[in-house]
Amino acid sequence: MDEINEHEVNTKKTGVAQDGTVVQERTRSVGTQASPKSTVVNIIWYLYGLVAILLAIRFILKLSGANGSAGFVKMIYSVTDILSKPFDAIFGVSTASNGKFTSVFEPSILVAIVVYGLIAWGIVKLFDINKPRDTSAV
């Protein structure tokens, strides 16, 4: 899937030792460099992974009844709020209260993780649209 460009560099050094003999040193190094297309694909998957992790943390915090006034919880909720908004009205929200804390089950967050994954997969597949197909396997 990833395209990697390899390049080879050969160098040759010639010198004279103290005793007058000619000394030659050859070095060979091979380097690899990812193609721009594979770099973009990796960035897309990285961004999706970041979004999915943040949404999963939100889901776990809501489910476990985390204190919404805590700094970390506030930050996660504010960052993921815009990501979960389009999916909030899909399902109802189930809550369970136990005096001190309230557990919230939001299945819409799970739907958001799946939908964003499908979007990332679709964008990645767009990069392979002009790739020639292997017809020898048919």
Q: Does one domain contain both 45 and 104? A: yes
Question: What number of other Cβ atoms are within 10 A of residue 137's Cβ?
Answer: 5
pLDDT above 70: residue 55:
yes
C-alpha to C-alpha distance for 18 and 40, rounded to whole angstroms: 53
pLDDT above 60: residue 6:
no
Q: Does one domain contain both 44 and 70? A: yes
Q: Does one domain contain both 18 and 44? A: no
DSSP 57: H
pLDDT at 79: 95
C-alpha to C-alpha distance for 73 and 68, rounded to whole angstroms: 6
Based on the structure, what is the number of domains in the chain? 2
Structural domain including 14 reads 4-34
Q: Does one domain contain both 30 and 44? A: no
C-alpha to C-alpha distance for 7 and 30, rounded to whole angstroms: 6
What mean pLDDT comes out for the span 9-15?
Answer: 60
Q: Does one domain contain both 57 and 92? A: yes
DSSP 86: G
Q: Does one domain contain both 48 and 100? A: yes
Q: Does one domain contain both 43 and 106? A: yes
C-alpha to C-alpha distance for 88 and 108, rounded to whole angstroms: 6
pTM above 0.85, yes or no: no
**What would the two tokens of residue 48 be?**
């999706």
**What would the two tokens of residue 97 be?**
């209260």
